[in-house]
Amino acid sequence: MTYRSGRHFLQIPGPSNVPDRILRAMDKPTMDHRGPEFAELGKTVLAGMKQIFKTENPVVIYPASGTGAWEAALVNTLSAGDRVLMCETGQFATLWHGMAAKLGLDAEFIGGDWRHGVDPQAVQQRLSADSDHRIKAVCVVHHETSTGVTSDVAAVRRAIDAAGHPALLLVDTISGLGSVDFRTDEWGVDVAITCSQKGLMMPPGLSFNTISAKALQASRTAGLPRSYWGWDEMLQHNARGYFPYSPATNLLYGLKEAIAMLLEEGLDNVFARHARYSEATRRAVRAWGLEVLSLVPSEHSNVLTAVLMPEGESADRLRAVILEHFDMSLGTGLNKLQDRVFRIGHLGDFNDLTLIGTLAGVEMGLSTAGIAHNKGGVQAALDYLAEVAASGQRSQ
Ligand code: PLP
């Protein structure tokens, strides 16, 4: 590989770009994880994550990727053979459903077309029909990273309540948290799941569960085997700022900085920034004459945009051309969307010029790859950003 000057554009929908402030925060000697200094760090990040999750409940942090936190949510709350209700929003919901089956759960899947979010009515109907309450948990993916479609978690909670059903609500907000509003307590989420490499602007390696009182109660009788993922020991140690095993100390230094940055900017400003960039991206896509995969405007993701290729064109070839010529990585299409879509990540540490650079890379890539499109996508995004700036919203 030869040296490529300038910064690589990492515009996949996570891992997202790690800002220099976080890189510098992690560049420290690893400390004694049983010493007093660590307890301070532990308490600070555990309390900080409650603010990001908008919860008063405990948060636990695993030295693991998001998949580990999915498993933790299931094995802590459920027993072999328990029925769980899941919704096929895309590849990540499909993987989580597969995991539930592997763990010995009776995992029911409400089918979907990968272009819509969870249908709360379908959830309500299914729960209403479950009169003997065999369904123990409803599991939904808040931001389906494979499709760029969001689900309305508050509406799912209302559906569960309207059915008068006691099932737990487990929510994967892996690509949403830290970029898009998520209200764990207000929405009645029993376990929220996330990880470090998306909106939290960190490298991969940390993942999280929030634990409601009801989820904690369920964990006392849940029968699935667990050891590493067990909440009980984790919570006992966390009470004093420690972990039951070696924590990912240097990633926690980074997390402390990431939380400080999000709170400094203000969560509402962070969310507004992502909403602006996603709208600008969709305007660019439409100006190119291409189609956004997400079909319902209220479900468009603010963290990524999946773009459908014109019939007969390969998304992977376009991505390869863009990587080769412009040193930018875009997200690949997953599973049945393989080669049909490319995904533009606009999450995490991102500003107007990063967005315009990203969209310029796509527009130049479409030309270089010889794919029929209209010019003017970047201009459409510029016009929108200028309009927003003129209307008085902060542009950064
Ligand atoms: N859930 C969602 C929505 C994701 O986007 C991802 C990863 O991209 C995962 C789960 C799995 O997380 P990890 O790859 O960190 O295990």
334 lines ligand 1 (CB under 6 A): no
| pLDDT tens track for 304-353 | 999 999 999 999 999 999 999 999 999 999 999 999 999 999 999 999 99
Report the separation in Å between the CA atom of 193 and the middle of ligand 1, taken as the mean of its atom positions: 10
Q: What is the 3-state secondary structure (H, E, C) of the chain?
A: CCCCCCCCEEECCCCCCCCHHHHHHHCCCCCCCCCHHHHHHHHHHHHHHHHHHCCCCCEEEECCCHHHHHHHHHHHHCCCCCEEEEECCCHHHHHHHHHHHHCCCEEEEECCCCCCCCCHHHHHHHHHHCCCCCEEEEEEECEECCCCEECCHHHHHHHHHHCCCCCEEEEECCCCECCECCCCCCCCCCEEEEECCCCCCCCCCCEEEECCHHHHHHHHHCCCCCCCCCHHHHHHHHCCCCCCCCCCHHHHHHHHHHHHHHHHHCHHHHHHHHHHHHHHHHHHHHHHCCEECCCCHHHECCCEEEEECCCCCCHHHHHHHHHHHHCEEEECCCHHHCCCEEEEECCCCCCHHHHHHHHHHHHHHHHHCCCCCCCCHHHHHHHHHHHHHHCCCCCC
14 lines ligand 1 (CB under 6 A): yes
Best residue among 175, 207, 304, 335 to mutate for probing ligand 1's pocket (most ligand atoms within 8 Å of CB) is 175
Contact in structure between 90 and 147 (CB atoms under 8 Å): yes
**Which pLDDT belongs to residue 99?**
98
**Which pLDDT belongs to residue 392?**
80
**Which pLDDT belongs to residue 136?**
98
Predicted TM-score (pTM) of this structure? 0.97
**Which pLDDT belongs to residue 394?**
58
Best residue among 12, 61, 67 to mutate for probing ligand 1's pocket (most ligand atoms within 8 Å of CB) is 67
**Which pLDDT belongs to residue 1?**
73
174 lines ligand 1 (CB under 6 A): yes
- ipTM of the prediction: 0.99
195 lines ligand 1 (CB under 6 A): yes
Instruction: Give the domains, in start order, of the chain with CATH numbers.
Output: 9-16+266-390 (3.90.1150.10), 20-263 (3.40.640.10)
172 lines ligand 1 (CB under 6 A): yes
283 is in an annotated binding site: no
| pLDDT tens track for 374-393 | 999 999 999 999 999 999 86
Q: What residues in the chain have per-residue pLDDT under 70?
A: 393-396
**Which pLDDT belongs to residue 393?**
64
92 lines ligand 1 (CB under 6 A): yes
**Which pLDDT belongs to residue 68?**
98
